[in-house]
Amino acid sequence: MQFFEREHLRSIFTKPTNYINTNRGKEYYDNLYKKMEKRLNELKAQQPVREAEIKFQELLETWELSRRDFLKWVSATTAMLMLPPQFEPLVAQAAEVMNRVPIIWINIQDCAGNTEALLRRASPTVDELILEYLSVEYQEVIMAAAGDQAEENLHKAVKDFDGKYLLFVEGSIPVGMPEAFTIGRHPKTGVEHVKHLAEHAAAVIAVGACACFGGVPAAHPNPTGAVGVMDIVKGKPIVNIPACPANPANITGVIIHYILTGELPELDSLLRPKFAFGYRIHDNCERRAHFDAGEFVEEWGDEGAKNNFCLYKMGCKGPFTFNNCSIVRYNEGTNWPIGVGRGCIGCSEPDFWDKYATERPLADSDIQPPGLHGVEAAVDEVGLGLLTATVIGIGVHAVASAIAGKKDETNEEQ
């Protein structure tokens, strides 16, 4: 087992990384705070998108949610955005002015999985925040309108909110075979549909592995020539929220960040928000202690599996995968794949079906595992807190972390 020797492990975990800078100093946060306050005041002065404004407080009551439930959500979201706790009041205010930003959500070559994941989040439900309070002008899976009426609604939303709406795209776009996605009375191809709606949007948010990097449809041999949004939309700010499905918390996070700053969050080279994709699954994995102790599951169902040992040798791609699901998890934090002993498949990385999927032995792969620090260095620097991070959850990160208001150059706001 030469591959798993200490020296080898050290070498693969010491590649440069795109780690987020989590210590920006008091001055930085003070300025950010002022900037966000100004932006929120501007939004408060604006009219809500929809005519009949519902008060946020009333909404919480009709959903039978307590203020306490809401504050819990605020605190988790603040931490996820890597903002220090003093930003919590601002995040709470941001949720309350969400109805100033119109949203259009379209599905191209999708499986509706990201929409479903979003619908399955609760407490205080994003159903409430997104569907009701946030002004979703068009979402074909949940809207009541169908047929011509739906098409009219979309036209109207584009006209009324020209240059102001956030366009969410779910699913890949088949550039190699336009016939693989056509829609409407006057059939439009996926490419035309996305380009047209992107042109009139303030920013485009690609949700899920398919919309970001082509996803499963783009796996070899890519029968329909599927690509992600960033391959066909140019000259617009784009955010990628990959994973399969994208974690709803990250979707909400991007929206809240946009409301707080009027800008997209700081992005990595793959246009992923750093607050969610700035560190590896491995960094906060609940099985990390077993990795450090050299305790691995060797085959399904063995003693190691029963004792929740590390899944690295079973093909887990946690050390290679940038995502926050080891902290945020899925279905309201109920669980995640590593929690049931399956290992990570690297679904927030490009081309993971062909490169990362379970049946790709790491030894044969040409994956360049990123990582600024070695395994030991990471433990030394962050301290043992890292090992208990999943227990304390999101809170640990809140203290040391922060987002940046800085924009990526290629994503300059129009």
Within residues 41-100, the interface with another protein by CB under 8 A covers 62-63
Sign of CA dihedral 212, 214, 217, 220: negative
Q: Which of 399, 381, 411 is nearest to 29 (CA)?
A: 399
CA atoms of 106 and 170, how far apart (whole Å): 6
Nearer to another protein, 16 or 147 (CB): 147
Nearer to another protein, 143 or 379 (CB): 143
Question: Is residue 338 near another protein by the rule CB under 8 A?
Answer: yes
> Please, are residues 236 and 204 in contact by the beta-carbon 8 Å criterion?
yes
Query: Using CB under 8 A, which residues numbered 168 to 197 contact another protein?
Result: 172, 174, 177, 179-185, 187
Q: Helix, strand, or coil here: 390?
A: helix
Binds another protein by CB under 8 A, chosen from 22, 115, 323, 401: 115
Question: Is residue 341 near another protein by the rule CB under 8 A?
Answer: yes
Q: Helix, strand, or coil here: 77?
A: helix
Packed helices 88-96 and 25-45: angle between N→C axes, nearest 10 degrees: 20
CB of 180 to another protein, least distance (A): 4
Question: Is residue 119 near another protein by the rule CB under 8 A?
Answer: yes
Nearer to another protein, 121 or 236 (CB): 121
Ramachandran assignment for 163, one of left (phi > 0), alpha (psi -120 to 50 degrees), beta (any other): left
CA atoms of 248 and 256, how far apart (whole Å): 12
> Please, are residues 394 and 253 in contact by the beta-carbon 8 Å criterion?
no
What residues form DSSP beta bridges with 104? 138, 167
CA atoms of 59 and 49, how far apart (whole Å): 16
Nearer to another protein, 87 or 330 (CB): 330
Provide the residue type at 216 as one letter.
Answer: V
Query: Using CB under 8 A, which residues numbered 300 to 319 contact another protein?
Result: 300-301, 305-306
Question: Is residue 113 near another protein by the rule CB under 8 A?
Answer: yes
Question: Is residue 220 near another protein by the rule CB under 8 A?
Answer: yes
CB of 292 to another protein, least distance (A): 22
Site string for another protein, 1-40 (x = CB under 8 A): ----------------------------------------
Question: Is residue 363 near another protein by the rule CB under 8 A?
Answer: no
Binds another protein by CB under 8 A, chosen from 71, 122, 232, 289: 122
CA atoms of 79 and 87, how far apart (whole Å): 9
Query: Using CB under 8 A, which residues numbered 144 to 163 contact another protein?
Result: 144, 146-148, 150-151
